Amino acid sequence: MRHIHRTLVTLAVTTFALGAAPSAAAQEPTNFSTWLRGEIRRALTAAEAIPANGSGVANQKESPSTDQTSTSLVDTSSASDFLSLALNLTGLRPEDDEESTPTSGSITATFYSLAAGVKGVSLTDPGFYRRGTPLRRLAITIGSEESKVADHLTDKPATILGAKLLILNNRDVYSAHARRQLDAMDMGVDAFVAQQQQAINEIQCAIFRAVDAAANATLACTADPAFKTFLLTAPFGPQNWPKTLEALEMKPEVRAQVNRLVTTLAAGHRTAAEAVAAAVEQIQRGRQLAFAYYTKQREDDGTDEHRAELIFDYGLSTRLNWTVNASFDHGDRKTRDDTRSGRFATEFQAKMSNPGSARWAARPVVLAGGIEGTRPSGADWLIRVQAKLLIPVTAGVDLPIAYAYASRDHEGIESGSRLKFSVAVDPVRFRERFR
């Protein structure tokens, strides 16, 4: 299993090396469209109050909670859409000074990413993404974790195996719930498009009458033969718009009329933006229910562990997600009696920052607080609480740092507080960030 650690580290380092700096965007042309966008932006003044969005906080990229060194106290319902690697680097306790090498690690992949790899299809191919919706519901995990003789009856590393099935998946863009929201979003944009087309007609007509002496103000612009002649000189295009705008600025009353139209248009833009944000919020707040099974297999007389788990996620707002776990744990001890326990855990995850504008931008900073209660048969409750800060380094690379407390010792869990941190890498998102 130790070579798995090395493989995971190599994969992560290789992934870091894949990127290249994105090219700078070309300069905006000096045409009517650029000017109108700028005017609308100015009219919108302060922040448009578009709620924060980005990669969902319910997409788990860290090792599952069954891994005692994982920074996940609670499992969330979704895996990454594609593939994620997690290296749990250390479990520092205040009174000791443990090694800084990885103590566990795992790779989680959806069947979707595996199928794309087998077929040689791009993970972001639209047709494959739609057809692969059911495949994104199922994820598998493989990894390894250190063992201790006192707790696990062997010092050989455990092999972590797991599978997670999303039963209810309202956050997938191809769910019926999401498609209804996208349709609502389109209606909001359609209304703005109609308003903008009308505004462009009125603004360009006003400018024509202001700057062209041949204009006949008694006729509608579309009925005025001079309007076509005017348009054929490309007055709104990149070559001539600066001159046209200069002529417009010489007519304050026309400029004021244009400003009023732009103000109305900006209000329409704000309404459309709110409709889009509301639709995205409804998708991101969708409910998710998953069933997961994880096992830790150990060689020789080492204890094999099993966890069957139900996971529920609910978006309380665009910034706050609530997760609940209920699981049954079984310890298969070859030389002693087996152990059985029930476990209940809950966690709140709050987005603390706005993500970047692009889909492949880094996730937001996430602060999570959770509590877990485990009741082994014939023993007292084990209570664990954890506060976690997930720091995005760049798209696809996160550093989760957790401060955990356990009420007592229990099979690999030591009482007291402990600082954990790991590196979670989603190689596809990291690579796409630089494409």
Contacts to other proteins by CB under 8 A: 25-29, 31-33, 41, 50-51, 53-54, 124-127, 129-130, 173-174, 182, 185-186, 189-190, 192-194, 196-198, 200-201, 204, 222, 227-228, 231-232, 234, 236-238, 241, 272-273, 276-277, 279-280, 283, 355-361
Give me the least distance between CB of 348 and other proteins, in Å please.
22
Angle at 184 between CA 178 and CA 185, to 5 degrees: 85
Q: Collapsing DSSP states into helix, strand and coil, what is residue 314?
A: strand
Q: Is 196 or 346 the residue whose CB approaches other proteins more closely?
A: 196
Q: d(Cα 402, Cα 419) in Å, to the nearest integer?
A: 6
Q: Which is nearer to other proteins, 99 or 190 (CB)?
A: 190
Q: Shortest gap between Cβ of 62 and other proteins (angstroms)?
A: 23
Bridging pattern class, strands 104-110 and 59-60: unpaired
DSSP state, 101?
S
List phi, psi (to 5°) of 282: -65, -35
Report in angstroms how near the CB of residue 125 gets to other proteins at its nearest: 7
Nearer to other proteins, 34 or 259 (CB): 34
Q: Which is nearer to other proteins, 26 or 217 (CB)?
A: 26
CA angle, residues 144, 15, 169, in degrees to nearest 5: 70
Nearer to other proteins (CB atom), residue 287 or residue 359 = 359
Q: What is the spatial distance between Cα 15 and Cα 256, in angstroms, rounded to a whole number?
A: 55
Residues 6+ apart with CB under 8 A from 428: 80, 81, 82, 83, 113, 123, 396
Closer to other proteins by Cβ: residue 20 or 26: 26
Choose between 1 and 362: whose C-beta lies nearer to other proteins: 362
Query: CB 239 → other proteins: shortest distance, Å?
Result: 9
Give the nearer residue to other proteins in terms of CB position, either 192 or 294. Answer: 192
CB of 202 to other proteins, least distance (A): 11
One DSSP character per residue, 361-424 reads SPPPPEEEEEEEEEEETTS--EEEEEEEEEEEEETTEEEEEEEEEESS-BTTB-SEEEEEEEEE
We find the least distance from the C-beta atom of residue 184 to other proteins, in angstroms, to be 11
Residue labelled with tokens 């409910």: 287
C-beta of 79 vs 86, nearer to other proteins: 79
Taking the C-alpha atoms of residue 171 and residue 285, their distance in angstroms, rounded to an integer, is 7
Query: Is 108 in contact with 429 (CB distance < 8 Å)?
Result: no
Contact (Cβ atoms closer than 8 angstroms) between residue 288 and residue 54: no
- For the bound state, the minimum distance from the C-beta of residue 27 to other proteins, rounded and expressed in Å, comes to 8
Contact 31, 236 (CB under 8 A): yes
Closest separation in Å from C-beta 222 to other proteins: 5
Give 178-238 as a DSSP string.
HHHHHHHHHHHHHHHHHHHHHHHHHHHHHHHHHH-TT--TTS-GGG-HHHHHHHTT-TTST
Q: CB 399 → other proteins: shortest distance, Å?
A: 23
For other proteins, give the closer residue by CB, 54 or 91.
54
**Paired strand residues for 158:** 145
The least CB distance from residue 203 to other proteins, in Å, is 11
Shortest distance, CB of residue 116 to other proteins, whole angstroms? 12
CA 58 to CA 64: how far, in whole Å? 13
Q: Which is nearer to other proteins, 228 or 260 (CB)?
A: 228
Eight-class DSSP state of 127? H
Look-up of token digits 């003789």? 149
